[in-house]
């Protein structure tokens, strides 16, 4: 017993005493095209953003690519310098249940992607219900729920962001409240009610909800991105990994179609 304790103490002292500087060489590689593209059912909100990857140790924003040829289903997306985005002509509107094909020509290389703009389920209304406190996490206050109906076949995916209007800063605040779900967990062809989880509101609060329909590829991308950014320190972090992408040709990123529904509900 004494020997084991002595050996353990010596090992600790050796570990503390060893201070050797180790230089890790990270090889540079050619920049990779990074794509962020969306076609949505909101007028004049569709865009494509192109940039280049940088070395791990390079600080600052990645360089913007402004000299590519970009089109979606043959419609030209022109570069807008003031926004650093490629956008279609004014009035462009995505349509549900449609396939959209992205084509990019940059630096004598061609990149492509495809997405389906899925139809969102129908939300009829929002309403509130008084709830007593549920210690230790939830105080007494109003819960907020929505009434919905989904006639789409399974399985369809939804990207849901929700928050509130901050009366101090006079701006919408979302705070990372992002939820991925699919209609395998909700009734089909039957009206149902869904209560916003882990939230209580007071009279006068303004609740905000943004729903986006997404296809399976985008669902997997958002889920993987969330796993890579869990905000959990130390050994509980997820090991770094390449994110999935639907971009073909050697680029990274995503191209998505969204049917968007926005709701604001003021608690009475």
pLDDT tens for 124-164 read: 999 999 999 999 989 999 999 999 999 999 999 999 999 99
Indicate where the chain has its CATH 2.60.40 domain(s). Answer: 33-117, 122-240+259-266
Assign 90 to helix, strand or coil. coil
Q: What sign for the dihedral angle of Cα 64, 69, 75, 79?
A: positive
Let me know: does 92 contact 75? Beta carbons within 8 Å.
yes
pLDDT tens for 82-133 read: 999 999 999 999 999 999 999 999 999 999 999 999 999 999 999 999 999 9
pLDDT tens for 167-190 read: 999 999 988 788 899 999 899 999
- Report pLDDT for 1: 31
- Residues whose CB falls within 8 Å of the CB of residue 203, separated by 6 or more in sequence, listed in order: 142, 267, 268
Q: How far is CA 64 from CA 30, 32, 107, 244, in A?
A: 15, 12, 14, 22
Q: Which CATH code is given to the segment(s) 122-240+259-266?
A: 2.60.40
- Report pLDDT for 4: 38
pLDDT at 231 over 90: no
Domain 33-117, CATH class in plain words: mainly beta
User: What is the average pLDDT across 51-65?
Assistant: 84
In what order do the strands lie in the sheet containing 192-195? 122-131, 141-149, 192-195
- Report pLDDT for 240: 53
Q: Judging by beta carbons within 10 Å of its beta carbon (0-12, 13-18, 19+), is residue 185 exposed, middle or buried? A: exposed
Give the number of other CB atoms < 10 A from CB of residue 243: 15
pLDDT tens for 2-47 read: 333 444 444 444 445 555 555 555 556 789 999 999 999 999 999 9
User: What is the average pLDDT across 241-268?
Assistant: 94
- Report pLDDT for 237: 56
pLDDT tens for 200-226 read: 999 999 999 999 999 999 999 999 988
- Report pLDDT for 30: 85
């Amino acid at each position: 017993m004494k020997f084991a304790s002595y050996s353990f103490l010596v090992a600790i002292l050796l570990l503390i005493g060893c201070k050797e500087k180790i230089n890790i060489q990270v090889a540079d590689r050619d920049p990779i095209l990074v794509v962020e593209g969306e076609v949505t059912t909101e007028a004049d909100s569709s865009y494509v953003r192109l940039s280049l990857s940088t070395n791990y140790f390079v600080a600052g924003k990645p360089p913007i690519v402004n000299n590519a040829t970009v089109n979606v289903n043959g419609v030209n997306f022109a570069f807008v310098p003031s926004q650093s985005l490629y956008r279609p002509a004014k009035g462009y509107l995505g349509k549900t249940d449609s396939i959209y094909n992205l084509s990019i020509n940059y630096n004598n290389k061609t990149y492509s992607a495809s997405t389906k703009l899925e139809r969102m389920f129908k939300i009829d209304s929002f309403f509130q219900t008084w709830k007593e406190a549920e210690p230790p996490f939830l105080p007494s206050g109003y819960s907020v729920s929505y009434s919905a109906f989904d006639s789409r076949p399974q399985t369809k995916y939804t990207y849901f962001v929700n928050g509130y209007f901050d009366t101090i800063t006079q701006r919408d605040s979302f705070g990372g409240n992002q939820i991925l779900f699919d209609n395998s967990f909700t009734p089909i062809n039957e009206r149902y009610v869904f209560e916003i989880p882990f939230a209580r509101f007071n009279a006068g609060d303004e609740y905000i909800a943004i729903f986006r329909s997404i296809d399976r590829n985008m669902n997997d991308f958002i889920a993987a991105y969330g796993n890579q950014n869990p905000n959990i320190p130390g050994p509980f972090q997820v090991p770094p990994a390449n994110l999935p992408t639907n971009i073909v040709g050697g680029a990274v990123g995503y191209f998505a179609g969204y049917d968007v529904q926005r709701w604001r509900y003021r608690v009475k």
